[in-house]
């Protein structure tokens, strides 16, 4: 924990994109390229949603039932902790190609939030990563479907991006009668070279001790959609 706390202080102090709850998209030169592929990604997503009843819940994959209960939050993983889910990537080849162009991409999935769902306030475990959302399928009353990050509120728009630091307290609400789907990506925070190397080294050191990673990969590779 001392090492993580020290790295978090350094990450905030020397971040190449600053220390903000929500970032300006133009700070990341790959965002526009991802948005330009929205229509193609959406076509692959629609194919995935044809088997939505078999898509696992978030807590089924990561053994975490604190944030939501039941089947309110479904997740179609393409990458988990830098490891691909081959059969899912094969079903979404263009999306997988786009994700591979995001520098430092560590986790990616289609995040499907059911109507009336509230993901309770929480924070990510480490600020060495930032979080990216590309709005895919957004309720008509988009103002009633939003994320709050450190008291800043923003709603999703189809084909548009949101980048935020999930180490700040955040929560999500879908107060509509429609599903919300986003492409959800975690990527390594842009840092000077030495600190980037240290962040990556910390991930490599931690992974063997995190049994949930092995369990999640085993579950995803054995789960049939």
Tokens at residue 159, please? Answer: 């084909």
Residue 119 is predicted with a pLDDT of: 92
Per-residue pLDDT of 125-158, as tens digits, reads 899 999 999 999 999 999 999 999 999 999 999 9
**Which of helix, strand or coil describes residue 52?**
helix
Strand partners for 73: 113
Q: Of 113-127, 181-195, 197-211, which range is least confident?
A: 197-211
Residue 225 is predicted with a pLDDT of: 67
Handedness of CA 101, 41, 116, 60 (dihedral sign): negative
Residue 65 is predicted with a pLDDT of: 60
Q: Are 67 and 120 in contact (CB under 8 A)?
A: yes
CA dihedral 107, 110, 113, 114 (to 10 degrees): -150
**Which of helix, strand or coil describes residue 112?**
strand
Q: Of 3-7, 20-24, 130-134, which range is least confident?
A: 3-7
Tokens at residue 105, please? Answer: 């991409």
The mean pLDDT of 43-64, rounded to a whole number, is: 89
Confidence band for 218, pLDDT divided at 50, 70 and 90: confident
Residue 32 is predicted with a pLDDT of: 97
Q: CA angle 223-217-82, nearest 5°?
A: 130
Per-residue pLDDT of 66-115, as tens digits, reads 666 778 999 999 999 888 999 999 999 999 999 999 999 999 999 999 99
For residue 174, pLDDT over 90 is answered with: yes
Tokens at residue 194, please? Answer: 């030495």
Residue 203 is predicted with a pLDDT of: 87
For residue 183, pLDDT over 80 is answered with: yes
For residue 8, pLDDT over 70 is answered with: yes
- Indicate the pTM of the whole model: 0.94
Residue 150 is predicted with a pLDDT of: 97
Confidence band for 3, pLDDT divided at 50, 70 and 90: confident
Residue 82 is predicted with a pLDDT of: 85
Residue 45 is predicted with a pLDDT of: 98
Mean residue pLDDT across the chain: 92
Name all domains of the chain by residue range, CATH numbers in brackets.
18-189 (2.60.120.330)
What is the rounded CA–CA span in Å between residue 144 and residue 139?
A: 8
User: Minimal CA–CA distance to 174: which of 137, 147, 153?
Assistant: 147
Tokens at residue 113, please? Answer: 């939030």
């Amino acid at each position: 924990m001392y090492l993580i706390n020290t790295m978090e202080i350094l990450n905030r102090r020397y971040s190449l994109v600053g220390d903000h709850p929500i970032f300006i998209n133009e700070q990341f030169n790959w965002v526009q390229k991802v948005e330009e592929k929205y229509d193609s990604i959406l076509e692959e997503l629609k194919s995935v949603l044809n088997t939505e009843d078999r898509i696992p819940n978030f807590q089924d994959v990561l053994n975490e039932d604190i944030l939501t209960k039941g089947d309110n939050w479904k997740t179609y993983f393409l990458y988990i902790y830098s490891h691909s889910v081959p059969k899912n990537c094969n079903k979404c080849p263009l999306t997988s190609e786009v994700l591979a162009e995001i520098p430092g991409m560590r986790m990616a999935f289609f995040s499907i939030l059911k109507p009336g769902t509230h993901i309770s306030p929480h924070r990510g475990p480490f600020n060495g990563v930032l979080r990216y959302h590309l709005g895919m399928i957004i309720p008509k009353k988009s103002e009633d479907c939003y994320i709050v990050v450190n008291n800043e509120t923003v709603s999703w728009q189809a084909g548009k991006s949101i980048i935020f630091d999930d180490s700040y307290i955040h929560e999500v609400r879908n107060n509509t009668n429609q599903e919300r789907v986003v492409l959800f990506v975690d990527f390594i925070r842009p840092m000077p070279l030495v600190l980037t190397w240290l962040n990556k080294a910390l991930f490599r050191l931690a992974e063997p001790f995190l049994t949930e990673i092995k369990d999640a990969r085993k579950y995803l590779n054995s789960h049939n959609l």
